[in-house]
Amino acid sequence: MTRDEIKTSAEAHEESALDWMRGLARCAPPVANAAPTVEQEPLPPALTREPPEAKSPARWAYERVLLYLRNFESQLDRQHEVALGFTGSDAGILRIEGIGFFDPDILTFYGQDEGGGRTQLIQHVSQLNVMLRAVPKEGPPEDPPRRIGFRLDDSPVA
């Protein structure tokens, strides 16, 4: 980078995250018998095939959010599903049905609110603030819970 080159905040955050991609993620030691955190697990090979410098901030954030989502879901029982909790407002939750990105800097979460209404969150990567919540699953008890993180087979972290 030259002295005259200006970076957006998203690019600066992406650059600071490159150490994570290289296996230098850090996590405070979890409590005894806690499930492994994303930072403690090896990266999926699909995530390391392309150098991080070649990824947009949106794609880079999308891939990491999927890792956190899958890890969170792997710890849920059959009576709970994942939802996205909104912080800083009383907007409630979004039961996640899909996640996507729009290069270079937008992430989108698709789903339903508590009342079953269609909901979509469009978020700039520089404002990304995701709180995953376990919520009781909907539907008959014998139906399996929705596991969005493991359904995204075409994702780069599959």
Confidence (pTM): 0.74
Residue 115 to residues 7, 64, 75, 118, Cα–Cα distance (Å): 41, 29, 25, 9
The sign one gets for the Cα dihedral 26, 53, 12, 100 is: negative
- Amino acid 32: pLDDT: 77
Which residues of the chain have a pLDDT value below 70? 1-5, 7, 10-30, 149-158
Give backbone dihedrals phi and psi of 20, rounded to 5 degrees, phi first. -60, -45
- Amino acid 87: pLDDT: 72
- Amino acid 139: pLDDT: 86
- Amino acid 108: pLDDT: 93
- Amino acid 53: pLDDT: 78
- Amino acid 102: pLDDT: 93
Tokens of residue 87, six digits? 């912080």
> What is the layout of strands, in order, in the sheet containing 80-85?
118-124, 106-112, 93-102, 80-85, 131-136
Q: Quick check: 75 and 35 in contact, CB under 8 A?
A: yes
Residue 124, strand partner residues: 106
Q: Quick check: 18 and 53 in contact, CB under 8 A?
A: yes
CA-only gyration radius of the chain, Å: 17
